[in-house]
A and B are shown apart, each in its own frame.
Chain A
């Protein structure tokens, strides 16, 4: 699938521009198509527009100009009910984590699955599996406020993939992690990708995309600077 030209587009951005009043231009004329099942890196320095781009894709923000399509749907034309359904198919790991500090690790991860009305047994098994993979198995009942930043980041990542979403958006997912944990997180994303999920990772951590075979788009000052093509060998 990777590197092939296909009509099965998961994310399609066409001449997307985003202004924030009064005078901040976050993105200018961005066009890119991301295929289903693709792993895609969005890179650039802080303030380059990576987070804004992810927010447009998950419909947290609306573009000032241009078109954003996800899974063939023009987001500007979706009704609230359709947006809710779409969001259940998208897993987002936020830069600020968006965790509930008074809830336990398990409760935080469960939220994404509860809104999709997954069975309790499924939720319990999925949480155990994710905590094991992210080296958090002893934190199941720990309140999030008692975790380190790195642990909180992993909880956010676990929640983003818990519901087996078709599209995973990760905003600086390794920002607070050491090398070994970064490896675990990237391995988790790779497995999700191999299972068919489209994964878009926004990062400025060169170590995770320098030798990648996947496409990398660089942003600077809200503009697309470069977009590499995918290759079969690193």
Chain B
């Protein structure tokens, strides 16, 4: 208990001694956490959205001719022997027309002069969840295209490609901003603690002379890193939350049910970010202590 209270007193003394640098470090850590967590938040929401996309993934196989019952059985057999599916639905020209008419709603009268069989018949294939990735969907669609009587296969390829490319890009940005967080936290905290060590060099020499243990000398600097990490990351996350709340209140995010339910970090994730920042800042402290105090 005495050890901890001594360490806290010394750590607060350190913080007061070079408060200008401490403030700079605090701001830098906060900004780094803000930048990283901003991109990370977008990334995990996109990943969630990608999961929902997978849930809704279906392949539409357009046929040249309306299949009879026997052909339907053959299609069903050929599809299920190639890949596991959850469901296969055959949509006739008439059903396609009715569905289209319903989708047009008030504007359905534009179909008035159109024949009711102008849309092609199709098969809607719903793969099982484990197969719902872009790569597997592509493979599956290539196979479906080889089936007799198939005109073309659609599953929103272009859109999905762009979406997954965006996620890849976002992953790179998250990694870069994570790297930025690591560098700034470690470097800034390390530099600040170096300044504290230099400012307190006479006192540290005296502490060694009167027999202070390594832990007695080292702990206040580690606490300093701990406080920097904790306060910096908490403020960074708080700023991001305020920004998130403001965005939500000002702009209504396009409501695509089940796709873009833009959420903030879970408490566990926020705690993990704070924890990681603390570890990085303490690591910065350890580096300085090792280099300048040789402890």
Contact = CB atoms under 8 A, between A and B. Distances in A.
A92 B3 contact: no
A111 B211 contact: no
Contact of B214 (A84, A98, A119): A84
Contacts of B205: 98
Contacts, number: 46
Chain B's interface size range is 10 to 19
Contacts of A90: 211
Contacts of A117: 2-3, 6
A115 B210 CA distance: 7
Contact of A111 (B2, B3, B210, B214): B210
A161 interface: no
Nearest to B206: A98
Contact of A100 (B202, B208, B209, B211): B202
B216 interface: yes
Residue in B2, B202, B205, B211 whose Cβ sees the most chain A Cβ within 10 Å: B211
B42 to A, nearest CB: 49
A84 B205 CA distance: 13
A115 B211 contact: yes
Given A114-B6, A117-B2, A98 B209 contact: yes
B213 interface: yes
Contacts of B209: 58, 60, 87, 92, 98
User: Chain A: interface residue count, which band?
Assistant: 20 to 34
A112 interface: yes
A100 B203 contact: yes
B272 interface: no
A112 B210 contact: yes
Contacts of B206: 98, 100, 111
In this complex, the member of A81, A86, A115 whose beta carbon has the largest number of chain B beta carbons within 10 angstroms is A115
18 contacts: A80-B214, A83-B211, A84-B211, A84-B213, A84-B214, A87-B210, A87-B211, A90-B211, A92-B209, A98-B202, A100-B206, A111-B206, A114-B6, A115-B212, A117-B2, A117-B3, A159-B210, A163-B210
Interface of A: 58, 60, 80-81, 83-90, 92, 98, 100, 111-112, 114-117, 119, 159, 163
Ranked 7 nearest A-B pairs via Cβ: A87-B211, A88-B211, A115-B212, A117-B2, A112-B210, A84-B211, A84-B213
